[in-house]
Every structure is written in C-alpha cells, then in structure tokens.
Amino acid sequence: MDRLTAETKIKELAKRIERHNRLYYEEDRPEITDQEYDQLMRELIELETQFPELASPDSPTQRVGGEPLPFFEKVVHKTPMLSLGNAFGEADIRDFDRRVRQAVGSQAVRYVAELKIDGLAVSLHYENGVFVRGATRGDGTIGEDITQNLKTIRSIPLRLTRPLTLEVRGEAYMPKAAFEKLNREREERGEPLFANPRNSAAGSLRQLDPKIAASRQLDIFIYGIGELHGETVESHSEGLDLLESLGFKVNKERRVFEDVGELLAFIESWTQKRPSLPYEIDGMVIKVDSYAQQEELGYTAKSPRWAIAYKFPAEEAITILEGIEVSV
C-alpha cells in the first residue's frame, strides 16, 4: 500500500474506532461485537507499525498499552507534589479559617471545597497539548514514570482542546463497581483479594505490563495545576474550569463558599451522602480560592497553609459474624 492510501486509511480507521469507543464507554450501546472492534484495532496497529511516521500520539492504539517495561524510570517533579494538613472536626476547620483570615487581613476569603478522592495522586505533563509523561506522586519530589499505564485511562485526554504546555495533578482511582468485579474474578481464580479500591488502583498503575492496567477500568479526577504556560488564571476555581474546557475530567461536586457555616454544612452533607457515590472518598479538601491569597499564605515545610484535608471519621467497622451484624 502506498503512503498516501495508508494515511487516509489510518485516519478513517481512527475515526471509526473513536466512534465505537464513545458508543461503548460513554453511551453503553456498542454497535459492533468485541471481535469486530479488535479487528479494526489490529488493522490500525498493523498500519501504524508499517508506517510509524503516520502514527499520531493521540491514536486510539495508544490506549491498549505496548510491551511490558523492565522497570519504571524515575521522574523529578519540577513543582513538588505537596502533602495536606489534616482537620478532623468542625473546630479544626474553624481554626484553619481563623488562621487564613489572620494572614490575609480584612480581605474577603473564598474557599473551594472538593471531594477527597481515595486513590493515587499522579502528575500529567502536556507539551503543546499532547500528553507526553505521567508519574506517580512518589515522595512528592521523585515519582515513577507510569505514562504507558496512564494512557490506558480513557478519561485522560491524549490531546487537549488547545495546544498548551502544562502539568496537572489528579487522583487516579478504581470505581467501587470495578473493584468489586475485580475481586470477584480474583476470588474465582484463587488469587489474593485487594483490600480496598485505593490499593487496587495503586497496584494496577504499578504494573510493568500496561495491558494489566488497561484491563482494570481505572478513572481519574484532575484536581490542580502544577505548571501552566500560555494562559493565566487568578483562582483555583477558575483553574479547574479551564482544565475542564481543555478536556480534563474534573469532579463536579466542587463548590465555592464565603461562609464557613455553609462550608461546614456542605462537609456534613457529604459525610452522609458518601456511600451513594460510585467511587470512594476519604474526606474533603478545602482550598483558599484566590491565588494571590495562596501566595500570601505560603507553605510549611511540606504542605500549603492555604489548604486542608478534612478526614471523615473512620466508617463504623461493621463485621458480619455468622450472620449476626455487630458494630465495633
């Protein structure tokens, strides 16, 4: 086949496969069988292997993962991925608010409250809008390059809606339903079970074989910007809206508050609603919205003074002893 025909065929195949991905993953109404889908994918992989210069970085073949890696390269986070101070009750939140208001003087303070997704923090780096590298948080300064595994997460865009160079942070996670299904399959195969969705997400992303990560139905919520070039934003909430417009999946349950009382009511409401979510959360993250105020507040040795993690009380450990339900 000549190059021009191959180019047309590759573009046409990629468009067909992306349409079937949308039908299958977003609308849950596939039009072709898995076998027919696999055939299309094999054809595209074959053409991209024959004409590597025609394979684009956002081709659907990037989602299926290549050969297993011998090891993970180390990645130094240019902007460190910090830790979060903890709050365990209303008094801690009010103390946090008092400290913030003390530091920013008489200015009005706006907070953004977000669900704290219980997964694995990762960093995603984009050059001119193309996903080029992803890494685990590691110790906040040095993480592991897990780009191949992250490419299998469908909600991670391989190409942004604009050719921006930036680095974002997010929490990769395994939905509760995928976790339960995975453990049922492992039980049938007599394999050890994962203790919780966070461990299974971390275990899946630390596999050297990307085909394993690709089989694990992982997802991600982007929660912050590490570096941003070619665009300026003044606040965290504006930054999250920009990220959404670029194609990132940002959790919709975020809300902005001026009043601590309403913030506390919001936190309480999610303590109750937590079991109804299709993914696990272990608390809320409260952040000062204004970047200028974040600058004024600065950082301790390891965490920002402008953010705090509110940790939900440990869920009652309910164990079933021979059918008798006891709370411990």
Residue 288 touches ligand 3BD, criterion: CB under 6 A: no
Q: Which of 48, 97, 114, 167 binds ligand 3BD (CB under 6 A)?
A: 114
Between 114 and 219, CB nearer to ligand 3BD: 114
Residues 139-158, one symbol each (x = binds ligand 3BD by CB under 6 A, - = not), give --------------------
Taking Cα atoms as reference points, which of 288, 268, 322, 248 lies closest to residue 109? Answer: 288
Binding to ligand 3BD, residues 164-183 (CB under 6 A)? 171
The least CB distance from residue 224 to ligand 3BD, in Å, is 4
Identify which range of 52-60, 112-120, 160-168, 317-325 contacts ligand 3BD by CB under 6 A. 112-120
- H-helix or E-strand containing 258? none
The least CB distance from residue 73 to ligand 3BD, in Å, is 20
The least CB distance from residue 83 to ligand 3BD, in Å, is 4
Binding to ligand 3BD, residues 16-75 (CB under 6 A)? none
**Which two three-digit tokens encode residue 251?**
């959790």
Identify which range of 81-89, 145-153, 210-218, 259-267 contacts ligand 3BD by CB under 6 A. 81-89
Pairing of strands 219-229, 111-117: unpaired
Between 37 and 223, CB nearer to ligand 3BD: 223
Q: Which of 10, 117, 153, 246 binds ligand 3BD (CB under 6 A)?
A: 117
Contact 110, 256 (CB under 8 A): yes
Residue 82 touches ligand 3BD, criterion: CB under 6 A: yes
Report, as residue numbers or ranges, the catalytic residues. 116
At a CB cut-off of 8 Å and minimum separation 6, what does 111 contact? 256, 257, 258, 260, 263, 286, 287, 288, 289
The least CB distance from residue 103 to ligand 3BD, in Å, is 16
- H-helix or E-strand containing 173? strand 165-173
Between 60 and 119, CB nearer to ligand 3BD: 119
Between 125 and 287, CB nearer to ligand 3BD: 287
Task: Write out the DSSP string of 281-313.
Answer: EEEEEEEE-BHHHHHHH-B-SSSBTTEEEEEPP
Residues 224-263, one symbol each (x = binds ligand 3BD by CB under 6 A, - = not), give x---------------------------------------
Between 168 and 246, CB nearer to ligand 3BD: 168
At a CB cut-off of 8 Å and minimum separation 6, what does 194 contact? 179, 182, 183, 186, 200, 203
Its sign, for the CA torsion 116, 119, 121, 124, is negative
The least CB distance from residue 306 to ligand 3BD, in Å, is 8
The least CB distance from residue 170 to ligand 3BD, in Å, is 8
Angstrom distance (rounded) from CA 48 to CA 41? 11
Q: Which of 126, 131, 223, 279 binds ligand 3BD (CB under 6 A)?
A: 223
Residues 38-72 as b/e (b if ≥16 CB within 10 A, e otherwise) read eebbeebbebbeebeeebeebbbbbbebeeebeeb
Between 99 and 211, CB nearer to ligand 3BD: 99
Task: Write out the DSSP string of 68-126.
Answer: PPSSPPEEE-SS------EE-SHHHHHHHHHHHHHHHTTS---EEEEEEE-SEEEEEEE
> Residue 143, SS3?
strand
Site residues for ligand 3BD per CB under 6 A: 82-84, 114, 116-117, 121, 137, 171, 223-224, 285, 287, 304, 307
